[in-house]
A and B are shown apart, each in its own frame.
Chain A
Amino acid sequence: MTRDRLFTYSVFDLYKIADNEGIKYDYLNGNREKLIEKILDALEESEKERANTNNDAMRLKSKKYDILQDCELKAQEKQIYTIPERYNDTRIVLLLRGPLWAYTYWDINESKVLELKDEIFFEGFFLRVYELGAKKASKKESYSKENILDYYDIPVDENDDSWYINLGKTGKNFGIRLCALVHGKDIVLSSSNIIKSPRGFVVENIDNLSNDSEAMTMLLSGLWDYNGSGKNVLPQRIISIMENQNLSF
């Protein structure tokens, strides 16, 4: 999107782009030139942010969908499709995002919410994040007292419906429960599926290889041709392993 191209847009479309980019423009008093400058700054910022949060594979992949260089203000398709915001049942789902992060979303049955809110001693909802032992055949067994290694709570609001969870440990099993606190008692509303965070280390002691740079190079497969300047393009997880092993590029 270039300055010249923005000058061909109607004011209405420029406001629309500004809205999409979260730009406040009231104080510009309709000054088209200043608005375009603001939009260009915001677009450049978004572009940088996207570039920083994508690796080369993803940046290149996005090229195949790159048919528009201008801002797409709306989908060509006019049909409106309505979908519910939430579903009227009680469930919580946990999705693994990486070795240390998970994402959870939940729904609570409307009548259950009303029932809880009618309780005089209803204090609120919270999430309980569990570190668990082995993943058992059933959810009930996985969440059994003997299998719970640790847990912590996150208070959530009635209007919340999702959360990003810092797991804190790699190579461990985790679960999460949606709970209500009533009169000092925890009431479990729903228990999630169990996820296992991926291990972030090479299995077995590799001391015997750590002094053998070629063998280590082979082990780290595909990193043989990188010098220090190439380090910023390597996956973080691999860099940390190499650093832990005092390996050089």
Chain B
Amino acid sequence: MSKGYLGFVLHAHLPFVRHPEYERFLEEDWLFEAISETYLPLLRMFNRLISDGIKFKITFSISPTLSAMLTDDLLMKRYVKYVESRIELGEKELYRTRDTPEIYKIAKMYLDLFYKDLEDFTEVYRNNILWGFRNLEKKGVLEIITTASTHAFLPLFEEYPQAIEAQIQNAVISHGRNFGTKPRGFWLPECGYFPGLEKYLKANNIEFFFVAEHGILLSDVKPQNGVHAPLQLQNGTFSFGRDYSLTEAVWSADSGYPGDPVYREFYRDIGYDLPMDYIRPYIHEPGVRVNTGYKYYAVTGDTDDKVFYNAETARKKLEEHAEDFIQKNLRQIKKLEGLMDRAPFIVTPYDAELFGHWWFEGVSWMESVIRKCYQHRDELEMITPIEYLEIFPHNQEGTPTFSSWGNKGYSEVWVDGRNDWIYRHIHKAIDRMTELVYRYPDETGLKLRVLNQAAREVLLCMASDWPFIMKTGTTVPYAVKRIREHIHNFNYIYDNLRRNTVDTGWLTKVERKNNVFPDLDYTIFALPE
């Protein structure tokens, strides 16, 4: 038995973005960038560790919307085109930078990575990288869990039990279809928890979930072990609390690892730096500059005068940072020794897309952490929540408090002056969807298609991503449009059903566009018993 345990949790999620009506669509790049910069590098890294005989365990949450996109033919074909275009750009870059060795070397590094992406994606995974993750679960290194169907921030739907049930039940069904297993754990979107949520989780055979640190600290009991052991809820589910300081070691804007001057600078991309005539084929029409993935500078510091990136220097730094992370864990375990009646479990959850995408060296840092952890396994062993529960099945009983990992720890990110208008419409759509379930309890044929699409639109408008984007100001016009689209589509169906009409042409068009969860059964919006 180890002196302490590390629960590394990665949450992979992107909202459902799919626009067959356009040749190229800007926000689809979220997915393509994540595949190239995060998901494929993670798969390569995990497989490398297995080949080297390193034993490790990661809890890996993959959202149902992300899974849906990763198994969508159109999007996956577009991803291949995306990589091919990056390869074409890379070849041009090698020629352009042939007389500048320090840039040429970096351009070659990216080009090699894109070639590897294309090979892995098309030949190893045959356009379906979910198989890669599924295979890693079979090999026993990942425990794949699920999250709410469209990543709804559940506390804002507490009064709509049918919507919460729909978000969870459909997620579990979707997980089964994609991974062939029943998920035992659940990632609460944004760690958003309210007392009572466990009822819906339990009803869907979920055994554990994660909350923010103050969810445990301010629970209805004095937590004897802080966040270093789970609380067992009355219905038998377990809540695991995030460790704040070790999560912050990666996240902190001031002192977090990714901000080190030698790491790759995210914001200096040739998509913005090179002349329009040269870069036009690789950005968006009409002349909208975007990231291309070719970034030649290091963070350097708070200056516009950046130095060129040096992969070797960055490599040495990430080794130092991995060692620092391990030492922080070990010091924490030492401090806790004797204060707990069991070995502590340190839970460090992160959004997966930050590794590789924003923090370019993040995947290599994680690999180094895993290798070092394996060396120190007598003191710090990587395990999953289920494995911790197998070692320590009896835990303090208690219920966490309403909490999230958002700013100030509650709902204010998702209910703010910039996004609060959406709830009037979403709540109304949920009420009306339930009304439709009872008005049309057993439909077939065209009406069944209409009702299932209505349910899809309701789930899609509940996504937490849109209010988040409205609040944080990244691609606001698109987020606003998405909420309006799904509410509009739902209302159109609702009004048509009241008039007993169906617009078949419109329905077919919308079904083809918003085709997430093809097996969705609209009666999922019935009120839970």
Contacts and interface: CB of A to CB of B under 8 A. Distances in A.
Given A75-B477, A199-B218, A58 B244 contact: no
Contacts of B411: 95-98
Contacts of B288: 68, 70
A237 B214 contact: yes
Contact of A66 (B159, B351, B474): B474
A87 interface: yes
Interface in A19-57: 46, 50-51, 53-57
Interface string A183-225: 0000000000101101111111010000000110111111111
A58 B245 contact: no
A62 B472 contact: yes
Contacts of B354: 60-61, 63-64
Contacts of B420: 103, 105, 162
Nearest to A171: B401
A75 B481 CA distance: 7
A55 B407 contact: yes
B155 interface: yes
Contacts of A73: 477
A203 B219 contact: yes
A39 B222 CA distance: 51
Interface in B118-159: 155-156, 158-159
A60 B335 contact: no
Contacts of B328: 225
Contacts of A162: 420-421, 424
B26 interface: yes
A234 interface: yes
Contact of B427 (A74, A93, A222, A236): A93
Contacts of B20: none
A65 B159 contact: no
B214 to A, nearest CB: 6
B408 A235 contact: yes
B485 A81 contact: yes
A76 interface: yes
A56 to B, nearest CB: 4
B438 interface: no
Interface in A68-85: 68-70, 72-77, 79, 81-84
Interface stretch (B249-257, B444-452, B515-523): B249-257
Given A58-B406, A96-B155, A218 B244 contact: no
Contacts of B340: 218
Interface residues of B, number: 103
Interface string B421-438: 101110110000000000
A205 to B, nearest CB: 9
Interface stretch (B29-37, B80-88, B384-392): B29-37
Interface in A150-209: 161-162, 193, 195-196, 198-204, 206
B470 to A, nearest CB: 11
A69 B272 contact: yes
Contacts of A137: none
B361 interface: no
B488 A82 contact: yes
A203 B266 contact: no
Given A55-B407, A77-B478, A221-B244, A233 B228 contact: no
A198 B228 contact: no
A93 B424 CA distance: 8
A9 to B, nearest CB: 11
A174 to B, nearest CB: 13
A235 B409 contact: yes
Interface string B210-223: 00011011111111
A69 B33 CA distance: 15
A112 to B, nearest CB: 17
A98 B214 CA distance: 13
A72 B477 contact: yes
B199 interface: no
A124 B355 CA distance: 55
Size class of the contact patch on chain A: 35 or more
B403 interface: yes
B55 interface: no
Nearest to A47: B473
B245 A54 contact: no
A221 B340 CA distance: 12
A219 B223 contact: yes
A238 interface: yes
A242 to B, nearest CB: 11
Contacts of A202: 217-218, 222
A207 to B, nearest CB: 12
B476 A70 contact: no
Contact of A99 (B267, B410, B477): B410
Contacts of A96: 155, 194, 402, 410-411
B78 interface: no
Given A83-B425, A83-B488, A218-B336, A63 B248 contact: no
Interface string B473-510: 11111101100110111010000000000000000000
A202 B226 CA distance: 11
A68 B26 contact: yes
A223 B245 contact: yes
B291 interface: yes
29 contacts: A54-B413, A55-B405, A56-B252, A57-B405, A61-B472, A62-B474, A64-B357, A67-B33, A72-B475, A75-B480, A75-B481, A77-B485, A81-B485, A81-B487, A81-B488, A82-B484, A97-B415, A98-B408, A162-B420, A162-B424, A193-B159, A196-B195, A198-B402, A198-B410, A199-B220, A200-B218, A218-B228, A219-B222, A222-B242
Interface of B: 14, 19, 22, 25-27, 29-30, 33-34, 155-156, 158-159, 194-195, 213-214, 216-223, 225-228, 241-248, 251-256, 266-267, 272, 284, 288-291, 328, 331-332, 335-336, 339-340, 351, 353-354, 357-358, 401-403, 405-413, 415, 420-421, 423-425, 427-428, 465, 468-469, 471-478, 480-481, 484-485, 487-489, 491
The 6 A-B residue pairs whose C-beta atoms are closest, nearest first, are A221-B226, A222-B244, A221-B227, A81-B488, A98-B410, A75-B477
Given A65-B472, A103-B415, A221-B217, 14 more contacts: A55-B407, A57-B406, A59-B472, A69-B272, A72-B475, A72-B478, A76-B27, A93-B159, A198-B402, A214-B335, A221-B216, A222-B243, A226-B245, A233-B254
